[in-house]
Amino acid sequence: MSQATGPSPRTRVVRESERGVYDRETVYRILDEGFICHVGFVVDGQPFVIPTSYGRSGDNLYIHGSAASRMLRNLDRGIPVCITVTLLDGLVLARSIFNHSMNYRSVVILGTASVVQDPAEKLEALHTLSEHILRGRWTESRQPNEKELKATSALRVPIEEFSAKVRQGPPIDDEEDYSFRTWAGVVPLEMVARAPIPDERCRHDIPVPQYAASYSRQRR
47-56 pLDDT, tens digit per residue, is 999 999 999 9
When pLDDT is averaged across residues 27-32 and rounded to a whole number, the result is 96
- First-to-last alpha carbon distance for the chain, in angstroms, is 16
In a domain, 205, yes or no: yes
144 contacts 126 by C-beta, under 8 angstroms: yes
CATH number at residue 116: 2.30.110.10
| pTM (2 d.p.) | 0.90
Residue 78 region by backbone torsions, left for phi larger than 0, else alpha for psi between -120 and 50, else beta: left
Report the mean per-residue pLDDT for the chain. 91
**What's the Rg (C-alpha) of the chain?**
21
Cα–Cα–Cα angle for 94, 96, 99, nearest 5°? 60
pLDDT at 16: 83
Asked, for residue 5, whether it belongs to a domain, the answer is: no
Q: Is residue 148 part of a domain?
A: yes
Give me the pLDDT at residue 2, please.
45
| Size of the chain, expressed as the number of residues it contains | 220
pLDDT band at 62 (very low <50, low <70, confident <90, very high): very high
Q: Is residue 31 part of a domain?
A: yes
> What are the residues whose beta carbons fall under 8 Å from the beta carbon of 115, sequence distance 6 or more?
72, 75, 76, 153, 154, 155, 156
Which among 115, 142, 138, 109 is positioned nearest to 126, based on CA atoms? Answer: 138
* Tally of domains in the chain: 1
**Contact yes or no for 193/216 (Cβ under 8 A):** yes
Judge whether 218 lies within some domain: no
Residue type, 54: Y
Say if 21 falls within a structural domain.
Answer: yes
Residue 4 belongs to some domain of the structure: no
Question: In which domain, by residue range, is 169 found?
Answer: 17-213
Residue 146 lies in a domain: yes
